[in-house]
Amino acid sequence: MSVRQRNNVTISGRGATTLVFLHGFGCDQAVWRFLSPAFEERYRIVAFDLVGSGNSDLSAYDRTKYNTLQGHVDDLLEVIDEFSDGPVVFIGHSVSTMIGMLAGIQAPQRFLAQVMLSPSPCYINNTDYRGGFTRQDIDELLDTMDANYLGWSSGVAPIIMGAPNQPELTTELTNKFCRNDPDIARHFARVGFTIDHRADLPRVRVPTLIVQASDDALAPLDVGDYMHRHMPGSRLDVIRNFGHCPHMSAPEESARVALAFLDSLGAVGNSA
């Protein structure tokens, strides 16, 4: 099958530079509709769905290929190769920030810059690292998914979204979770929530902006500080937001810091 069909690739916007959006766990490219208008006049925008999510081809989901993030890294690089004539700006959310980071380490020449929204290289606490969860927390979360995926979706969506003054966003996220194939979602969750890419942070050579929410149950402020300290040349911006999805609940502020970062690089975002 084609890359376009496999990942439901869509193209919009206008500009000489391509910007690639990639959503987080349980979502699809529609979540970028709050953020993308701020970029459409300056960038050619490529958005796609992770295999197993949204309107991707579910038949392409191979548990062996996607048993680590590398399968999605390979997909991202194929999308860039097919739909961009040159290096891209990558904007990812949550687990997809690590997909973008690993792709940038593997093929830095394909990236001008990357923007990480609510990233985390590891969700599990360690001796000198506070990821936000104990190993028991993660095991219980995954066990709950196995026992009752729809109930888990309804219970965890408000925690992930936050945004108490925007209940429609919680409803949207819950519905997205519930529409996913439960078997694929459970498998991807086990991969995503048990990652540990801390050792890869010093290998990053792509200019990177870390966008951290001031109150995020999945990625506490310590995570952003840790990443900034260990990732050469990175920039950290903390924005006022309650929840893990600032591209949905605080799109104006997320766009502002991302555009300021890209402007500071000087060579991206020129209109065609």
- E strands, 69-159, where? 88-93, 111-117
Distance CA 186, CA 212 (A): 26
Tokens of 168: 């429609």
Distance CA 120, CA 231 (A): 12
Residue type for position 29: Q
Active-site choice (197, 244, 247, 254) = 244
Distance CA 192, CA 200 (A): 16
Active-site annotation holds for 153: no
Active-site choice (36, 53, 94, 96) = 94
Distance CA 118, CA 246 (A): 8
Contact 156, 170 (CB under 8 A): no
Active-site annotation holds for 244: yes
The number of C-alpha atoms within 13 Å of 90 and in the hemisphere containing its C-beta is: 35
CB count in 10 Å sphere of residue 151? 11
Active-site annotation holds for 94: yes
Contact 118, 218 (CB under 8 A): yes
Active-site choice (49, 216, 237, 249) = 216
Distance CA 269, CA 263 (A): 8
Distance CA 266, CA 268 (A): 6
Cα four-point dihedral sign 19, 30, 14, 6: positive
Which residues make Cβ contacts (< 8 Å) with residue 41, sequence separation at least 6?
13, 14, 15, 271
| Residues belonging to the active site | 94, 216, 244
